[in-house]
Structure 1
Amino acid sequence: MKRTSLSLSIMLSFVLPSIAYAEHSHDVEELEKVTVSGQAIQPLPQESAGLDLEALKSKRAQSSDTASLLKGIPGVSLYGAGGVSSLPVIRGLADDRLRIKVDGMDLISACANHMNPPLSYISPTNLSELKVYSGITPVSAGGDSIGGIIIAKSKQPEFAKDADSVLSKGEIGAFYRSNGDARGANLSATLATDNFSLNYTGSTSKANNYDAANNFKAAGPAASDRGWLDGDEVGSTAYETRNHALNLGFKLDNHLLQVKLTHQDIPYQGFPNQRMDMLENRSNSINFIYNGLFDWGSLETSLYREKTHHKMDFGDDKQFLYQSGMAPPAYGMPMETEGDNRGFSVKAEINANERDLYRIGADIQRYRLDDYWEASGGMMMSPNTFININNGQRDRYGVFAEWEADWTSKWTTLAGIRHETVKMDADDVQGYNSTNYDPTAFNNADKSQTDNNIDLTLIGRFTPSDNASYEFGYAQKTRSPNLYERYAWSTNGMAMRMVNLAGDGNGYVGNLDLDPEVAHTISFTADWHDAEKQDWNITFTPYISYVDDFIDAKRCSGQTGMMAVCTASNLSTSDDFVYLQYDNVSAKLYGADLSLAKHLYHDDKIGHISGQAVFSYVRGKNRDTGDNLYNIMPLNATFTLQHAKGAWHNSAEWQVVAAKDRVNDERNEQETSGYGLLNLRTSYQWKQARVDFGIDNVLDKGYSEPLSGAYTGQGRTMSPDGVAWGVTVPGMGRSFYTALSYSF
């Protein structure tokens, strides 16, 4: 039964004429489908409008960071982090406030600094589908979040055409980027019959520290026991990563079973806005996925387990040896995390009749976390192992029901409800010693918490003509605190500085009394276009969210003594790093996204030319104090001019970002200046080969991205005064890149 998708795709790149041209060209190989969409109500069809496969292929050549593929989508920005671990932000909400699914798995960052976010576990070269729900999101897409939803899927199994044939194919590729001397390679191979498929995908990438466009600090040793850094070299930005994935597919009629196994090994990844670096991240997962089509509808299930072993310490640009007076030295600060994530989900779509479609389902997730720091010597870090979180438990049990109805050819509605029970607990902890770390109050407290959360979604779409559609809706969404927000316990300054989910250089402690966040969001989208959706498009989306019990942070106080950091002076300082405790406040976020696209010119000799423009604005306020929310992206726009002729695809992109002068005073957040960046890209595709070439930041503009965080990439980072306050992480200077791929 053909259904009308209740969706309004925000045009990332409106190059449908050039795509159509490529489909009729016998010299161009059909590209793998990757879906990137904006506002959506149910999972979009793969033939979604606004699909720009060429641009996404080019983006893979630009970056080894999967989250970076989301750049350019209205309302989406990125928190700065490691080279392959940036965190997506949707309309001012980031990290655990978003629901991010990778092949159906609800992945959780197992790190006190969130160095291993969900999208870091899938390589860009293994990505086959990427969807973004940026506005009112359906309850069937996931819960335990108050922002948008990102769904990433790896390569899907391919099968031979009939029982008498065997499919064998593969692809090999490599890339090089000049800034940071980044290089890497990828390999994919498939062997399949008509009902069995075996696919292997592997990739590796490596980079040195990158250079800014100009000197942002003095040249000299990175730290007293480390090597030299030039004035323009951004410390702690080197990385190396390896990803392997094996996908087995079994097909019988309308039923498909997949078994996906993945292994990730990151030997090191520097973090310029954290006081620690990742020195190892190993993850293994197994995921059983079933999809079935029946006369009554469809059934989808996922059963998975993912285990992570994560290590942090000081990398090559951060001081390793600490000693005070005649005390024994401390050799680094090893921090280890073990995460065990198990889950099961089931979703059924029931086609009741020509009008009504029902979705029902359930989710179960069992998560365990141990975060411990082995003694490394000195008076502060011995003789015990510091236990930050001991047997942290976070279990979710969710059920949902959703009803979508096509009332007429002009009216469609969707209504949904989800209930989730979130149970959290943790065992007793200990410090390095009882002199400087006293866990008595935490250990004596009742750490067991149970939250009963309700999500609601109500959406309608009105399509008065072939040239316009209007979508409007309301959502109530709820998120419970994560384990670090609730259970990080120590108010020792050094321990607090090691717990930081924000990249701001400050220190944090948890709060056992946190309540779940509850967001009430109203959104409206107008979509105007030509009748054939081939020539022009304008999409405008204003929105507003009121969040009760928003988990922000307040400065801690009340301590006295020489080693105390939660003192009266901590409340008043405005030019230094501070110490904070997570706390519930009332918050408001509002803004608008605007995208415009136009097919400009077509000529058989010149080819197709199209233009796109995307504008995004968001404002975040603490309603209790009047302060600005932290890390809110200022007004920004991206203008793109694209050209396609035969196998050639070219683009020029101008990214413009306003100054960030509305900052969070509680965290002493730094302002950033406005800037504009010019990027050029070109690619050529043969039947079996493809080459990409581009220049990022063509004019070598010096800048700091507004969400880059505080620069803590070098120096005596464990000490309160060992890092200069007031320096933001600079962006990358000019970089040339090229990538080659060959299919066989």
Structure 2
Amino acid sequence: MLRTSSLLSAVAVLSSSPVMAEHTLDNVVITAPQSDSVLTVTTDPKAPRQPVPAHDGADLLKNIPGFAVIRKGGTDGDPVFRGMAGSRLSILLDGDTVLGGCGNRMDPPTAYVFPQAYDSVTVLKGPQSVQHGPGSSAGTVLFERHKPDFSVAEIQGDASLLAASADRNDQMAHLLAGNQRGYLDLSGTRSDANNYRDGNGDEVHSAYTRWSGNAAIGWTPHTDSRIELSAGRSDGEARYADRAMDGALFDRSNAALMFEQQNISDSLASVKARIYRQYVDHVMDNFSLRSASGMKMVSNPDRETTGASLTGRWTPGLATDVRTGIDYQKNQHRIRNANNMMDMMQTPDADQLHRNEDMRFETQGAFVELDHKYSDGSSLHTGLRINRDEAEDLRANRTTSGDKDINLLHSMFARYEWQIFPDQRLYAGLGHSERAADYWERNKNPAAQSPMMTGSASTFDVRPERTTQLDTGLLFNRGPLTGSVSAFYALHQDYILIEQLPDVSAAASNARNIRAISYGTEAEATYQLSPHWNTQSSFAWVRGENDSDNTALGQIAPPQATFSLNYVETTWSAGALLRVVGDQNRVAPGTGNIVGQDIGRSPGFAVFSVNSGWQAGDNLRINAGIDNLFDRAYAEHISRSGADISGYETTTRVFEPGRTWWLQLQASL
């Protein structure tokens, strides 16, 4: 489908291949992987990249044009794509949905992603697919492990070590052993860092530790059949610069059973069934990772998500491919809180308390998606999905206590791709997506009353959001020049806007439906200057309008561009990267999404980085780089505001890291 292209070629571990090519450097991902398929970007999360290789899901996605990240500290930022965040952007791990528990998005789905544990990451832009669940108006991100291939070797493995500024140190190891009858797949990751310093030299409350372990055992009774049982566990802790509490526990466990059968008949190409369970146990407090001068507090939400799916791939003709499927998902959210208000000498212990279930969600869906290719290389793509979505409010003392909200949701798309010339492909697609409100949108408190008071206001019944979007673009490959340009225009009916209500109460926030539009463009190009020199550039811009209030749409990142130049020899490489971000003067303070709201205008900035790589042997590669070479002090426009934390500078926004050096070693069997 897509290749991972780059600007700077350096060293990359060939984890997807058991044997490394002798004395040959692979490409390094710098500004972004480049699209060579319509509305799709695929990248290798194990490949070296600049800025410093990613330690969580959002950190990896931020380098793809159109993405931005809401910074909160050193880890667990929230990804935003084309100005859309939260459940508008689906995050799937091997096809399974993972949902966080924190009511203030301390643990977004990408907080539970360890990129190097996966073989590929695919971004599907816009509502141009219905295979991966309801909603997903902005897009879908698939973190996936590939089916093992033992055609070359029966034992395969790779590992990496990374050291960087702020005492960061990462380790990853992956071992795959098996044959044509079965296999065992084991992987583990760990990442640890202390507080970083921004470009002003100020220390930012941002230290973290993360680890994960995954295991899968597979049985392949014959070439076309596979049964796999997989399980994983991860945990960590993180300090946050944007709030009064830190994350003391991010305990996630998951298990799945998958069955796959290929080549069933002339018309039925494959069938795949999967059941899974994801459980997240999250603890946040204001004393274990910082000094607490007042009352100590702890909050302990958890969330269990279970699901199942059955999909089939049909080939009614040589040029036609049809995918059908049904799926089911249920998730339950619970919470318990404790403090030491009654005894200031004691440390609160939530473990002794009973968890109260506050919301429950359930959805069943069915879809059909068709791809048809024409003799001239052009193609037609269509799809339809129907979901029954149910949410139940189990909270006490709310105006909506005991309510059930049931919605029938429709998603559909149609896209035509013209093969204008062998090296040019033009496309246009129209998609429609309907999304029911998520947990964070339903639990806002738009009044000054305490949740303990009878009849406290609630946003549980906010209407589903409906998005209709036009996507167009062009892919080209003309000799030394390759690239793509895309544009979109989206009409958001009943867009769910989140806003703070400072005139009522500092803790009050509201979720309400508005009419909004958003539109923008992304472009990327690579030019091969000579056999050893190449350059790449990218550009992304988006604009949002709140038509109901005649204001800008909140939390829209400013335009940004990247420019990169690199030189590649057979065993070493060197390169440079410039990222330029514009001003953002179109703001709507106090409004935005479930992650954050606009603070105010922000200035533009430019950041310059360099890297190099050396292949030290057939199976060993070394990468090094310096990000933000000139130690620029800057903050992303959509960054959260800095909190008042004892011993740390309070800033309008959480600043990005200053000059950061990193060194990475990668090896494979």
Q: TM-score, normalised by structure 1?
A: 0.80
Q: Superposition pairs for residues 251-270 of structure 1, below 5 Å? A: 251=220, 252-266=222-236, 268-270=237-239
Judging changes above 3 Å, is the alpha-carbon distance between structure 1 residues 172 and 73 closer, same or farther for their aligned structure 2 residues? closer
CA distance in 1, matches of 2:601, 2:271: 49
- Report if aligned partners of 1:157, 1:198 keep a CA contact under 8 Å in 2: no
What letter matches 1:146 in structure 2? Answer: S
Of 341, 352, 362 in structure 2, the residue corresponding to residue 395 of structure 1 is 362
Q: Give the aligned partner of residue 742 of structure 1.
A: 667
Of 420, 426, 429 in structure 1, the residue corresponding to residue 387 of structure 2 is 420
- Report if aligned partners of 1:157, 1:248 keep a CA contact under 8 Å in 2: no
Q: Give the aligned partner of residue 634 of structure 1.
A: 558
Deviations 1:381-408 (A, max 9, x none): 9999999973411111110111211133
What letter matches 2:633 in structure 1? Answer: G
Distance apart, 1:247 and its partner CA: 1.7
Q: Give the aligned partner of residue 317 of structure 2.
A: 353
Deviations 1:443-500 (A, max 9, x none): 4xx521111100010100111211321100100011111123213558558989xxxx
CA distance in 2, matches of 1:550, 1:110: 23
- Report if aligned partners of 1:41, 1:137 keep a CA contact under 8 Å in 2: no
CA distance in 2, matches of 1:84, 1:665: 25
- Report if aligned partners of 1:171, 1:742 keep a CA contact under 8 Å in 2: yes
CA distance in 2, matches of 1:101, 1:670: 33
CA distance in 2, matches of 1:695, 1:15: 13
Distance apart, 1:346 and its partner CA: 1.9
Q: Give the aligned partner of residue 517 of structure 2.
A: 588
CA distance in 1, matches of 2:425, 2:393: 50
CA distance in 2, matches of 1:741, 1:32: 13
Distance apart, 1:513 and its partner CA: 2.4
Of 135, 154, 166 in structure 1, the residue corresponding to residue 145 of structure 2 is 154
Q: Give the aligned partner of residue 124 of structure 2.
A: 133
Question: SS of 1:259's equivalent?
Answer: strand
Distance apart, 1:706 and its partner CA: 1.5
Q: Give the aligned partner of residue 624 of structure 2.
A: 693
Distance apart, 1:274 and its partner CA: 2.9
Q: Superposition pairs for residues 507-546 of structure 1, below 5 Å? A: 510-530=458-478, 535-546=480-491
Distance apart, 1:289 and its partner CA: 2.5
Q: Superposition pairs for residues 304-383 of structure 1, below 5 Å? A: 304-314=276-286, 318=290, 320-322=292-294, 330=295, 332-377=296-341
Question: SS of 1:484's equivalent?
Answer: helix
Question: SS of 1:143's equivalent?
Answer: coil
CA distance in 1, matches of 2:155, 2:21: 24
Q: Does 1:678 align with 2:608?
A: yes
CA distance in 2, matches of 1:17, 1:731: 25
What letter matches 2:487 in structure 1? Answer: P
Of 186, 205, 208 in structure 2, the residue corresponding to residue 200 of structure 1 is 186
Q: TM-score, normalised by structure 2?
A: 0.88
Question: SS of 1:58's equivalent?
Answer: coil
- Report if aligned partners of 1:40, 1:133 keep a CA contact under 8 Å in 2: no
CA distance in 2, matches of 1:316, 1:80: 21
Deviations 1:53-83 (A, max 9, x none): 6993235953312322223322122222343
- The worse-fitting range, judged by mean Cα deviation, of 375-384 and 100-109 is 375-384
What letter matches 2:601 in structure 1? Answer: E
Distance apart, 1:642 and its partner CA: 2.3
- Report if aligned partners of 2:10, 2:25 keep a CA contact under 8 Å in 1: no
Aligned length: 646
Distance apart, 1:595 and its partner CA: 1.4
Q: For CA contacts below 8 A with separation 6 or more, give which structure has more relative contact order.
A: 2
- Report if aligned partners of 2:291, 2:646 keep a CA contact under 8 Å in 1: yes
Q: Superposition pairs for residues 33-432 of structure 1, below 5 Å? A: 38=35, 56-59=47-50, 62-154=53-145, 156-159=147-150, 167-178=154-165, 180-214=166-200, 232-235=202-205, 237-251=206-220, 252-266=222-236, 268-294=237-263, 295=265, 296-314=268-286, 318=290, 320-322=292-294, 330=295, 332-377=296-341, 390-429=357-396
CA distance in 2, matches of 1:313, 1:82: 15
Deviations 1:336-372 (A, max 9, x none): 0111110111221111102221111111001011022
- The worse-fitting range, judged by mean Cα deviation, of 134-143 and 466-475 is 134-143
Q: Does 1:459 align with 2:407?
A: no
Judging changes above 3 Å, is the alpha-carbon distance between structure 1 residues 209 and 156 closer, same or farther for their aligned structure 2 residues? farther
Distance apart, 1:185 and its partner CA: 1.7
Distance apart, 1:316 and its partner CA: 6.2
- The worse-fitting range, judged by mean Cα deviation, of 338-347 and 641-650 is 641-650
CA distance in 2, matches of 1:552, 1:33: 35
Report the aligned-residue RMSD. 3.5
Distance apart, 1:259 and its partner CA: 1.9
What letter matches 1:144 in structure 2? Answer: G
CA distance in 1, matches of 2:160, 2:545: 46
CA distance in 2, matches of 1:525, 1:655: 24
CA distance in 2, matches of 1:652, 1:32: 12
CA distance in 2, matches of 1:581, 1:711: 22
- Report if aligned partners of 1:292, 1:299 keep a CA contact under 8 Å in 2: yes
Deviations 1:389-432 (A, max 9, x none): 73411111110111211133243111111001111003233xxx
- Which protein shows a greater Rg? 1
Distance apart, 1:666 and its partner CA: 3.4
- Report if aligned partners of 1:168, 1:192 keep a CA contact under 8 Å in 2: yes
More helix by share: 1
Distance apart, 1:88 and its partner CA: 1.8
- Report if aligned partners of 2:607, 2:628 keep a CA contact under 8 Å in 1: yes
- The worse-fitting range, judged by mean Cα deviation, of 10-19 and 462-471 is 10-19
Judging changes above 3 Å, is the alpha-carbon distance between structure 1 residues 390 and 461 closer, same or farther for their aligned structure 2 residues? same
Judging changes above 3 Å, is the alpha-carbon distance between structure 1 residues 109 and 349 closer, same or farther for their aligned structure 2 residues? same
- The worse-fitting range, judged by mean Cα deviation, of 404-413 and 689-698 is 404-413
- The worse-fitting range, judged by mean Cα deviation, of 413-422 and 108-117 is 108-117
- The worse-fitting range, judged by mean Cα deviation, of 187-196 and 733-742 is 187-196
Q: Give the aligned partner of residue 669 of structure 1.
A: 599
CA distance in 2, matches of 1:33, 1:127: 16
More strand by share: 2
Distance apart, 1:208 and its partner CA: 1.0
Distance apart, 1:298 and its partner CA: 2.0
Question: SS of 2:318's equivalent?
Answer: coil
- Report if aligned partners of 1:18, 1:644 keep a CA contact under 8 Å in 2: no
Distance apart, 1:135 and its partner CA: 3.4
Q: How many percent of aligned residue pairs carry the same amino acid? A: 20
CA distance in 2, matches of 1:39, 1:26: 27
- The worse-fitting range, judged by mean Cα deviation, of 372-381 and 127-136 is 372-381
What letter matches 1:159 in structure 2? Answer: F
Judging changes above 3 Å, is the alpha-carbon distance between structure 1 residues 60 and 283 closer, same or farther for their aligned structure 2 residues? farther
CA distance in 1, matches of 2:210, 2:420: 51
Gap regions ≥5 residues in structure 1? 216-231, 323-329, 430-438, 497-507, 557-564, 571-576, 603-607, 718-722
CA distance in 1, matches of 2:284, 2:48: 33
Judging changes above 3 Å, is the alpha-carbon distance between structure 1 residues 71 and 55 closer, same or farther for their aligned structure 2 residues? farther
Judging changes above 3 Å, is the alpha-carbon distance between structure 1 residues 78 and 421 closer, same or farther for their aligned structure 2 residues? same
Distance apart, 1:282 and its partner CA: 0.6
CA distance in 1, matches of 2:20, 2:145: 27
- Report if aligned partners of 2:445, 2:510 keep a CA contact under 8 Å in 1: no
Judging changes above 3 Å, is the alpha-carbon distance between structure 1 residues 199 and 373 closer, same or farther for their aligned structure 2 residues? same
Distance apart, 1:652 and its partner CA: 1.1
Distance apart, 1:11 and its partner CA: 8.1
Deviations 1:225-244 (A, max 9, x none): xxxxxxx1112x11011111
What letter matches 1:691 in structure 2? Answer: I
Question: SS of 2:48's equivalent?
Answer: helix
Distance apart, 1:153 and its partner CA: 1.1
- Report if aligned partners of 1:60, 1:69 keep a CA contact under 8 Å in 2: no
Question: SS of 1:13's equivalent?
Answer: coil
Judging changes above 3 Å, is the alpha-carbon distance between structure 1 residues 292 and 234 closer, same or farther for their aligned structure 2 residues? same
- Report if aligned partners of 1:159, 1:197 keep a CA contact under 8 Å in 2: no
